Amino acid sequence: MAQPIHPAPPAHWVQPPLPLLPAKPSTPGNVRTVINTITVLKAHKIRLHPTAEQEAYLRRACGTRRFIFNWGLAEWQRQYAAGEQPSAAALKKQFNRLRGVEFPWTYDVTKCVVEGAFDDLGKAFSNFFAKRAQYPKFKKKGRSQESFYLSNDKFTIGDHWVQVPVLGDFIIKQREAQGEPITKRAQLKRRLGKINLAEKLRFTGTSGTTDKTSTMSTMSTTSKIMGATIRCEAGWWFLSVQVQVQVAQTPVEGPAVGIDLGFMRLATLSDDTRFENQKPLRHLLAQMRFLNQQLARRQQGSKNREKTKRKLARLHYRIRCLRDDLLHKMAHQITERYSFIGLETLNVRGMFQNRQRALSASDAALGRLARLIETKAQAHGTCVQRVGRFFPSTKRCHRCHHLRDIAEDERTYVCFNPACGWTGDRDLNAALNILEEALRLASLNL
Ligand SMILES: [Zn+2]
């Protein structure tokens, strides 16, 4: 019944090893000096093991959130058409006035759901106005991400459990409706309201015991819980906790590096370290194609269709995990080794517009890698210098700055300047250009 989260990869697929970087220069006594303490936001995603009754509540909360979001969006559109100026905060007030009369069933779940739905609506519109996203869409059951938000003062986390608000009441009501006698109500409510966690929350700075009467937000002086999201992915439930942590910055002693990110090869560093693209999506694509064909053959609404759908969702989930694992390891290796990092600014949206490339772009998740490098570098106080999007890193010869056009499939750069004539790997040339430009830009900022 219970399937492992990370099933073994297929036998024919062997994960190529990450390139071995030369050993880190050792610091005296191997003790790193702390230069500064900074506050960063981290997230820990933990698998939940809800009982069937608890799962019903989680589904209800997700459905309620979807309903409220859609209600808000429809009302926004109506008010906008009527020449008014809608806002998420005003809509929330309006909804809360109507709630008791028109939507009493929304009281079955925690009020965080209402707040989260209007926050999401507000964010969706501000992203749209800032041209970061498309116009907000209505959420469809089974199509959209099923999730809801919990604010930090509404839930408690223990060693291996999370106390979800209103959950205990919800289950007791359901049991009462079925005519089950309820005794020791308060005790039962507490017990039913706790969902089992697959692992302990990280980043909280306490070890072992938890004070049962206090919430996690007061547990440790160095970390603070900011909120959490419960979501359903591939039929599994997850709790994602956002924690604000104090991080001691420890500088890395090492050289400067420029990084060229690409599709053919994931990353090429200016010292010629190469990270090949393992393309987890490509490897599992055949399997995905098969499942997609199977899904198309299954009858609408049949049990077998649901089964195939779930298999497909789990395949997507596995690909995400494989990719995330690789990106995290790469970002870690790079940030542990270099004291200065030059990165190009990627036009991620432009990459997805090119349909032929869209597959490899989503596969490599270059934008995510760049962001990971930036966040991990923060912990060392390492400078990450972005190079402008229009800097001709691929066209320029790093040695003589001669410019030439180079086709997408040309893997070798040959400099056309007769006085130079440098020949070498195309991405290495780009990485060296990025390093030089990043160092120049960083010196301007000083
Ligand atoms: Zn040249």
Would you say 164 and 206 are in contact if contact means Cβ atoms under 8 Å apart?
no
Task: Provide the token pair at 295.
Answer: 């899904």
Ligand 1 centre from 32 Cα, in Å? 41
Answer whether residue 32 shows pLDDT above 90: no
pLDDT given for residue 60 in this prediction: 94
Ligand 1 centre from 268 Cα, in Å? 19
pLDDT given for residue 265 in this prediction: 84
Ligand 1 centre from 150 Cα, in Å? 57
Ligand 1 centre from 404 Cα, in Å? 10
Instruction: Dump pLDDT digits (tens) for 308-335.
Output: 988 888 888 888 888 888 889 999 999 9
Ligand 1 centre from 274 Cα, in Å? 22
Closest CA to 266 of 257, 253, 275: 275
CA-CA distance, 120 to 2, in Å (whole number)? 33
Question: How many other CB atoms are there within 10 angstroms of residue 122's CB atom?
Answer: 17
In which band, very low, low, confident or very high, does the pLDDT at 349 lie, cut at 50, 70 and 90?
Answer: low
Ligand 1 centre from 261 Cα, in Å? 22
Answer whether residue 3 shows pLDDT above 50: no
Ligand 1 centre from 350 Cα, in Å? 29
Q: Element (H or E) spanning 182, and its range?
A: none
Closest CA to 318 of 368, 283, 354: 283
CA-CA distance, 391 to 343, in Å (whole number)? 11
Ligand 1 centre from 435 Cα, in Å? 16
pLDDT given for residue 325 in this prediction: 87
Ligand 1 centre from 399 Cα, in Å? 5
Q: What are phi and psi of 288, to 5 degrees?
A: -70, -40
Ligand 1 centre from 413 Cα, in Å? 9
Instruction: Dump pLDDT digits (tens) for 365-398.
Output: 788 899 999 988 988 888 899 998 889 999 999 9
Ligand 1 centre from 289 Cα, in Å? 45
pLDDT given for residue 171 in this prediction: 93
pLDDT given for residue 119 in this prediction: 94
Ligand 1 centre from 259 Cα, in Å? 20
Question: How many other CB atoms are there within 10 angstroms of residue 239's CB atom?
Answer: 22
In which band, very low, low, confident or very high, does the pLDDT at 82 lie, cut at 50, 70 and 90?
Answer: very high
Ligand 1 centre from 417 Cα, in Å? 6
Answer whether residue 52 shows pLDDT above 60: yes
Which domains can be identified in the chain, with CATH numbers?
47-246 (no CATH), 252-280+313-445 (3.30.420)
**DSSP 8-state class, residue 55:** H
Ligand 1 centre from 339 Cα, in Å? 28
In which band, very low, low, confident or very high, does the pLDDT at 15 lie, cut at 50, 70 and 90?
Answer: very low
pLDDT given for residue 24 in this prediction: 52
CA distances from 95 to 90, 121, 136, 307, 330 (A): 9, 13, 19, 37, 46
- Which amino acid does the sequence have at 171? I
**Beta-carbon-side half-sphere exposure of residue 71 (alpha carbons within 13 Å):** 20
pLDDT given for residue 231 in this prediction: 93
Would you say 43 and 242 are in contact if contact means Cβ atoms under 8 Å apart?
yes
Would you say 429 and 406 are in contact if contact means Cβ atoms under 8 Å apart?
no
Ligand 1 centre from 406 Cα, in Å? 14
Report the range of poorest mean pLDDT among 24-38, 58-72, 75-89, 167-181: 24-38
Q: What is the pTM (predicted TM-score) of this model?
A: 0.77
Paired residues of 40 in beta bridges: 245
pLDDT given for residue 49 in this prediction: 96
CA-CA distance, 277 to 264, in Å (whole number)? 7
Mean pLDDT rounded to a whole number for the chain: 83
pLDDT given for residue 364 in this prediction: 60
> Which residues lie below 8 Å from residue 128, measured CB to CB, with a gap of 6+?
134, 135, 136
Question: How many other CB atoms are there within 10 angstroms of residue 387's CB atom?
Answer: 21
Ligand 1 centre from 438 Cα, in Å? 19
pLDDT given for residue 214 in this prediction: 39
Ligand 1 centre from 397 Cα, in Å? 5
Ligand 1 centre from 425 Cα, in Å? 13
Ligand 1 centre from 396 Cα, in Å? 8
pLDDT given for residue 19 in this prediction: 56
Instruction: Dump pLDDT digits (tens) for 170-205.
Output: 999 999 999 888 888 899 999 999 999 999 888 775
Ligand 1 centre from 423 Cα, in Å? 8
Answer whether residue 165 shows pLDDT above 60: yes
In which band, very low, low, confident or very high, does the pLDDT at 351 lie, cut at 50, 70 and 90?
Answer: low
**What mean pLDDT comes out for the span 6-27?**
50
* CB-count exposure of residue 402 (10 Å: 0-12, 13-18, 19+): middle
The Cα angle at residue 386 between residues 383 and 445, in degrees rounded to 5: 60
Of the chain, the end-to-end C-alpha distance in Å amounts to 59
Ligand 1 centre from 262 Cα, in Å? 22
Give 35 or 105, the one with higher predicted confidence.
105
Q: What is the length of the chain?
A: 446
Ligand 1 centre from 305 Cα, in Å? 59
Instruction: Dump pLDDT digits (tens) for 191-243.
Output: 999 999 999 888 775 433 344 433 443 344 578 899 999 999 888 999 999 99
pLDDT given for residue 212 in this prediction: 40
**What mean pLDDT comes out for the span 344-365?**
63
